[in-house]
Amino acid sequence: MRRSLSLLVTICLLAEGAAAEKSLAASSPQAASAPAPEVGPARNDEATLTPSPSLTEQPRLEPTPRKRGWFGRMLHPSAPAPPQYKDPKVRGLALLLQVSPQTVKLSEVRQLEVKVRLTNQSKKAIELNFPSDQRIEIYLMNSAGIVLTKWSDNHAINAKPGIVLINPGEHIEYNETISTRELTPDKVFIAEVFFPKYPDLRTRQKFLTAP
C-alpha cells in the first residue's frame, strides 16, 4: 500500500516538471524570434557567378585610316612627275595642254581655243630666256602628222628678248587661238604646242571635227 502511494507521488512530480519545462521553452524570446528556414527553388550558382560580358575585357578600338574625299582630290590633285628632258635647264617643268571645244563644229567655230600651262614642279626657280616676244608655237596637224596651220604665220613676232622666271610650285599660262579654216569635218586632228627656244617642252592633243 505504501509502495503504491510512493510510486503515484513520483509520477505526479515528474509530470509537473515536464509541464514546467514545456511552458518555460514556449515563453523563451529566442524561440519566438527564430524564423523557420525558407525552402525555395535551387539556384544556379555557376550562372550567378559568371561575370557579364560588359564587365570582361573590352574590345580594342583601332583608329580608322582617313581617306581623301572626292572634294579633296579635286582641290589638290596628285600632279604627275615631270618628264625627264634632255635639256637640264627645263627639268622640273610640266606642260599641260587644253583644247576646246573637244568636238569642233566647223560651221560654228572659226578659231580653236588653246590653253597651255607650264608648271614648275621642282624645288628651285627656273629661268627661261627668249630671243623674241614669241614664247610658244602652235601647229594644227592631220592624223598623219602633216602640218596644216601654224600659229606664227598669222602673228607678228618682234625681236625683243625676254626672260620668264617660274618659282617652285608656280605656273604660267598662255591662252591663244588658231584658225580652223584648213580643217575638214568628221576627221581626227592634232593640236601640238611647243616652245621654239626649248624644243623639249612639247605636248599635243587630238580632237574631232564636225560639220
- Write the pLDDT tens digit of every residue in 16-51: 555 555 544 444 444 444 444 433 333 333 333 333
**pTM greater than 0.85 (yes/no):** no
Find the distance separating the first CA and the last CA of the chain, reported in whole Å.
Answer: 159
Separation of alpha carbons 144 and 46, rounded Å:
88
Instruction: Please report which confidence band the pLDDT of residue 12 belongs to, taking 50, 70 and 90 as the band edges.
Output: low
% the chain with pLDDT above 70: 61
Question: Over the stretch 80-99, which tens digit does the pLDDT of each residue have?
Answer: 566 789 999 999 999 999 99
The stretch 157-186 carries a mean pLDDT of 96
| CA nearest to 171, candidates 85, 96, 72, 100 | 96
Architecture of the CATH domain 91-210:
Sandwich (2.60)
